[in-house]
Chains A and B, each alone.
Chain A
Amino acid sequence: MKRSLFISIVILCVSASAISQKYSTKTGEIVFEASVPSFEEVKAKNSSVSAILNTETGDIAALVLVKGFRFKVALMEEHFNENYIESEKYPKATLKGSIQDFELSALKDGPNHHTLIAALTLHGKTKNLEIPIVLTATDEKLVLTSNFALNPDDFDISIPNIVRSKVAKEVDVNVHLELSN
């Protein structure tokens, strides 16, 4: 009797810790920039990125609501939504992947460099990517930052000739996620 009670307590504890093995955020930040020197800045920021990291497996899922990207120039924001990213048709961008060689207990102080292998879906197109990421563990948070380049052509996003010279060919993407338990 005592033994079965002990076992059930152990099972309860294990399952409780399994549930708490998720680090997440609803207010992650993504900034992208495709500026060309001496032309108007092409830059937007989204501060409501959702992401969940399973610290048991290193699996990560992220979701960006495209309408949440804010530009400095209102007209640029309209064109981005209507002509390029078509946010009425494709309101979401998602990422599903796994951080390679991830182990929460093995994280050392300071920046930890890892590779994230993930499928990114944007503008209705999915592409597999290898993204370099940096993980920094603080007291209660796990901060994930990343900087990588995307090619709009890969996602069937065409930039019309008239503005081609004013928009960079490669889009620089900066990610900052403060994941907490």
Chain B
Amino acid sequence: MRKLKIYFILIALASMVGYFGYKYLYHEHRDINAETSVIETTAQQLSEAYQANGQNTFLNKTVTITGKVTDTDANTITLDDSVHCTFESDISEIKHNTQVTIKGRCIGYDDLFELVKIDQSTILKQ
């Protein structure tokens, strides 16, 4: 009877370790769309902040950006020639020269094209 109890406790412990271990190893990716932005600003201001404060400004942070669409590609848009946003969904409804607000994650500053790069973008307002 006592042995049975020990076995039972051991099995319960093992399954708990397994459960939490699995949850730790395979936890979900960040959901950028569900996060609160650390800043809401314009494309121009974000670019200026980068040039003034360097590479690590808002690195890996969720930001909300408003600007005019100056370029579109298959799944990317450029806002005010200063912020380049990559989307994971279809963005064919975004039109050139319109004002949009997007949310996404800052991944750094691209010196080659002088653009702040954003990935995992979603459209908030257009």
- Give me the interface of A with B, judged by CB distance under 8 Å: 24, 26-27, 47-48, 50-52, 61-63, 65-68, 73-75, 77, 81, 87-88, 91-92
Contact = CB atoms under 8 A, between A and B. Distances in A.
B25 A26 contact: no
A91 B61 CA distance: 13
11 contacts: A24-B113, A26-B73, A27-B74, A27-B75, A48-B107, A65-B110, A65-B117, A67-B60, A77-B29, A91-B55, A92-B108
Given A68-B117, A88-B59, 9 more contacts: A24-B112, A27-B76, A63-B110, A65-B117, A66-B108, A74-B28, A75-B25, A91-B55, A91-B56
Nearest to B54: A91
A77 to B, nearest CB: 7
A75 B110 contact: no
A59 to B, nearest CB: 13
B104 to A, nearest CB: 11
Interface size class of B (residues with CB under 8 A): 20 to 34
Interface of B: 24-30, 55-56, 59-60, 73-76, 84, 86, 105, 107-108, 110-113, 115, 117, 119
A74 B86 CA distance: 19
Given A63-B110, A75-B25, A48 B56 contact: no
